Amino acid sequence: MATAQKTPLTMPCLRGRFGDWIFYSCLMSVGDVASRVSYAEDIHTSKELSKLIQRSLEGERAAKIADYLRHNDERFFNSLVLATYGGAPEWYDVGNLRSSKNSAILAEMSDGAVDTIGLLRLTGDEKIFALDGQHRLAGMKTAIAQDQDLGDELVSVILVGHSLDTAGSRRTRRLFTTLNKTAIPVKKRDIIALDEDDVMAITARRMVEQDNAFKHPKIAVISSESMPATNFESLLTISALYDLLKLLFMHTDGIRSDYTLRFNRPDDNALDAYHAAATAFFGALGKTFPPIAQLMRAKTPLTVVKANRTQEGGHVLFRAIGFDIFVRTAFAIAGKEGISLSSAVQKLSILPTQLSEIPFRGTIWDPAKRTINAKHKTLARRLVFHMLKLPMSDRQRQTLEGDYRKALGYELDDVKIKLPKPLVK
């Protein structure tokens, strides 16, 4: 996309070579990035494809990144990779470094290293577009439109040259896809261990580090997301705890997206409130289901877990799949009846708690193999909702009996198999 001519811009840079790419690692103000850089449209010949890219970029995610920039004092981005063509960029070595008083330090640097330090001058005629960091670019454009004060902040950019001919466009597209395909999302275990903005990660760490009721091994601080079959000391993995906290905090805040919880660190008072909500929820579970309270108090959790996670199945809350079903059911009760979460948890007490009982036997628990069957998790939750007369869609209710029969190995129309009886009037 063509842009109007800009004034010249000179940036401090390092010049380097990686493979057959010459690149310039520079500092550019947020204002200049927002006004000078466009999206990766010029590597596509289809204008419709370019419009599709822009509509995708300038949506909800851009607004969330802009909100992060405007409201998070600890904001930080890694480098954007930009391609440039046209104009007449000029590179100036900072040669007078050689006459510095710190000659001994300079002597330690190779001639090649000294020659990489300099200034890059753009005339303003250049066309610049983002190869990597397009959503960050969209967020900066949105943020600048809302708050001009961000314009003077400096971000790191890496500039490479782009050629408009067929070979040049193909080469740039290949770099674009390489940068975007090889980017690996941060793993949940690393978020839990390190993230200082994510409310669930902060709370989970605090619980396993400070609260005796949740210290390892009661909550298994392991890299695996699933509980090892040999573990008889832990209620949940820290990954499962993270997922529970996400559901809990979204319910508490009345929100449908976890974005703010993951990216906008609240103040310490709010973090204390989230921690209190988490411990209160487990406290409510402990009052309603004594084995949970026993584990939270236990000095030797092995005894409690082994008694409740058995070859016959054991307590439904001592399996992550059952824990998730009960938690989601409590949220549904609280929402339907307009009551507190603690009161909703108390209403779970009328449910069967053994995996060997209906509605768990034959759905999430295979009594013949003595294993969990995660395939029927949603079905088991629907059965629990049916037993408590909680809201379901018409289709979910109409197909429930047939799905239950099928899960148990019967024909869809086998009238011998009936749904579990409701437990409430």
Beta bridge partners of 132: 81
Number of Cβ within 10 Å of residue 311's Cβ equals 6
Tokens of 135: 């959503």
Instruction: Please report the pLDDT score of residue 314 as a whole number.
Output: 96
pLDDT for 1: 41
Span 363-382, pLDDT tens digits: 999 999 999 999 999 999 99
Helix 290-297 with 301-308: angle, nearest 10 deg:
160
Stronger pLDDT, 45 or 345, i.e. the higher one: 345
Tell me which of 77 and 360 has the higher pLDDT.
360
Note the pLDDT of residue 177: 66
Sign of CA dihedral 137, 138, 139, 145: positive
Residue with more model confidence, 19 or 108 = 19
Q: Tell me the average pLDDT across 284-294.
A: 97
Task: Label residue 382 exposed, middle or buried (CB < 10 Å: 0-12, 13-18, 19+).
Answer: buried
What distance in Å separates the CA atoms of residue 301 and residue 296, rounded to the nearest whole number? 8
pLDDT over 70, % of the chain: 86
Residue carrying structure tokens 């902040």: 153
According to the model, what pLDDT value does residue 166 have?
A: 72
Reference 130, options 75, 57, 72; nearest CA is 57
Q: Which pLDDT tens digit goes with each residue over 125-148?
A: 888 888 888 888 989 999 999 888
With 70 as the cut, is the pLDDT of residue 362 above it?
yes
Cβ 356 vs Cβ 367: under 8 Å: yes
pLDDT of residue 96: 53
How far is the CA of 139 from the CAs of 56, 83, 130, 214, in angstroms?
Answer: 12, 19, 13, 39
Give residue 234's pLDDT band: very low, low, confident or very high (50, 70, 90): very high
Q: Could you report the per-residue pLDDT of 178-217, keeping only the tens digit for each?
A: 676 666 666 788 888 888 889 999 999 999 998 999 998 9
Which whole-number Å values give the CA distances from 202 to 47, 82, 105, 214, in the listed order?
45, 34, 43, 14
- Residues 221-231: what's their mean pLDDT? 88
Q: How far apart are CA 422 and CA 35, in angstroms?
A: 62
Residues 304-360 have pLDDT tens digits of 999 999 999 999 999 999 999 999 999 999 999 999 999 999 999 999 999 999 999
Of 58-67, 236-245, 275-284, 414-423, give the lowest mean pLDDT range: 58-67
Extract the tokens encoding 303: 């005894």
Higher pLDDT, 385 or 98: 385
The residue extents of the domains of the chain are 9-183, 189-407
Percentage of the chain with pLDDT > 90? 57
More confident residue, 184 or 240: 240
Q: What is the mean pLDDT of residues 298-304?
A: 95
Torsion-angle region of residue 274: left (phi > 0), alpha (psi -120 to 50) or beta?
A: alpha
What H or E segment, with its residue span, contains residue 298? none
